[in-house]
Structure 1
Amino acid sequence: MNGARRPRRLSWIASPFLVWGLHFFAVYSLQGLVCGRGWPAPAAWIAIALATLPAFAAVAWIGLRARRSAAAPDTGDGRRFAARLVAMLSLLSLLAMAFTTIPVLLLQPCE
């Protein structure tokens, strides 16, 4: 196996959850700023949407790239397993981001 093509497996596998963790931090930090500074609710929703959309796009890109890598015919068993794992973890991260964002958007800030 060529060393240049070997994936950095741990960082690759952890990348969907890293993005989700940063998203989680951003959303609840923004929620705290809204409560602490008295920002209006529409401004909070816009800020949260601006934090959520790039995070969703990043995780979707990671998942699609992993899915494409798993479907490649020249992929070895270890890389195929890692690619499938990353694709499944990307779906789980997207679900986690939805469960993080939906309550923040449905509830009024500071209640």
Structure 2
Amino acid sequence: MRSSPFTHDFLLLFSAPLIWALHFVAIYGFNGILCARPGANAAWLGLSVATWVLLAAGLAAAAAIVACMTVAPRDAARENRRFVRWVTRGLGGLALVAIAWETMSVLLVPGCP
């Protein structure tokens, strides 16, 4: 089943903020659960497993956002396609900055006190 051009473009516009929100909830939820179980956080190559998982989640979210930024809008009007592309890339850039900011804290601040 193929979605309508409006549905496709609407989801494309908000894909980056949605991916960022899922990333945000996932990393804080995961870190909270892991910190509640002190014995579960082992070390591997000098970094905790939580740090590795959070770094991998950040890279996966960033890759998904970059992939969404390359998808072409389907609207029939040329100006609408340009607008959707511009807003999608703008929101994608903001979401990438937010993900980098969250991921940077993993390396600078210890996760579990």
For normalisation by structure 1, the TM-score amounts to 0.79
Structure 2, gaps ≥5 residues long: none
SS of residue in 1 equivalent to 2:31:
helix
Alignment partner, residue 15 of structure 1? 15
Separation of aligned partners in 1, 2:48 and 2:102: 18
Residue by residue, what CA displacement relative to the aligned partner does 1:49-100 show, whole Å, maximum 9, x if unpaired?
Answer: 221221110001111335xx6xxxx961011101111011111110010111
Aligned AA for 2:48? P
Alignment partner, residue 97 of structure 1? 99
Size of the alignment, in residue pairs?
A: 102
Q: Which runs of 4+ in 1 moved over 4 A?
A: none
Aligned AA for 1:22? L
Separation of aligned partners in 1, 2:93 and 2:101: 12
Matches within 5 A, 1:48-87: 48-66=54-72, 76-87=78-89
Identity %: 30
Asked whether the equivalents of residues 20 and 55 of structure 1 are also in contact (C-alpha less than 8 Å), the reply is: yes
Q: CA RMSD in A?
A: 2.1
Structure 1, gaps ≥5 residues long: none
Higher relative contact order (CA 8 A, sep 6+): 2
Separation of aligned partners in 2, 1:7 and 1:79: 11
Task: State yes or no: 1:47 paired with 2:53.
Answer: yes
Separation of aligned partners in 1, 2:60 and 2:5: 27
Alignment partner, residue 31 of structure 2? 31
SS of residue in 2 equivalent to 1:65:
coil
